Amino acid sequence: MKPGEVLIVSLGLPPPRLVGDVAAALREVLAVAARTGPSLERPGYAFNEGRSQYHTAAILRRLGGFRARGAPVLGVADFDLFVPDAPFVIGDADRDAGTAIFSLSRLGHADPDRVRRRAQVEAVHEMGHLLGLAHCADYRCAMFLTREAADADRKGPGLCASCRTALGL
């Protein structure tokens, strides 16, 4: 069942305007109201010194504490993320916990409009996971796996017909 809203939590110092652009994409693409929540410092508890990255599982567990009235939580981070089996990840989601996160650190570009679009694409992607969508084979769909920033450029913030149908949109 689709939630009525999502809470967006800033981690580190993502630009506030960019967080607003993420909220707008969630409303437009997924028809989910997005509410901006607290801004948090970089999560020292999740930092892995050997990798100089932040472990997503630890962050997702903490974000669960911000769930109110069953609304999922989406974290927007300005630092590099990892899961143990990969050198890095752009984002991660825990559907059971209702939490997701994505990072801007590997989405940077000299063109702020490109960064905005990449952030919107990845926000829709992670929220799509929370709504029950898996990765999509259509490279133009927001649910296509992003391995690098060029993947986010290739796909759009929108969903393909199959993913829209799966969500009843």
Of the candidates 5, 41, 126, 148, the residue annotated as catalytic is 126
28 is catalytic: no
Q: Write down the pTM of the prediction.
A: 0.94
- For residue 1, name the pLDDT band (cuts at 50, 70, 90): low
How far is 42 from 77, CA to CA, in rounded Å? 8
54-74 b/e with 16+ CB inside 10 Å = b?
Answer: bbbeebbebbeebeeeebbbb
Residue ranges making up the domain that contains 160: 5-167
**Bridge partners of residue 89, in order along the sequence:** 81
Per-residue pLDDT tens over the stretch 68-77: 777 899 999 9
Per-residue pLDDT tens over the stretch 52-85: 999 999 999 999 999 877 789 999 999 999 999 9
Q: The domain spanning residue 150 has which CATH number?
A: 3.40.390.10
CA–centroid distance for 90 within its chain: 8
Helix axes 112-130, 16-30, angle to 10 degrees: 50
What is the tally of structural domains in the chain? 1
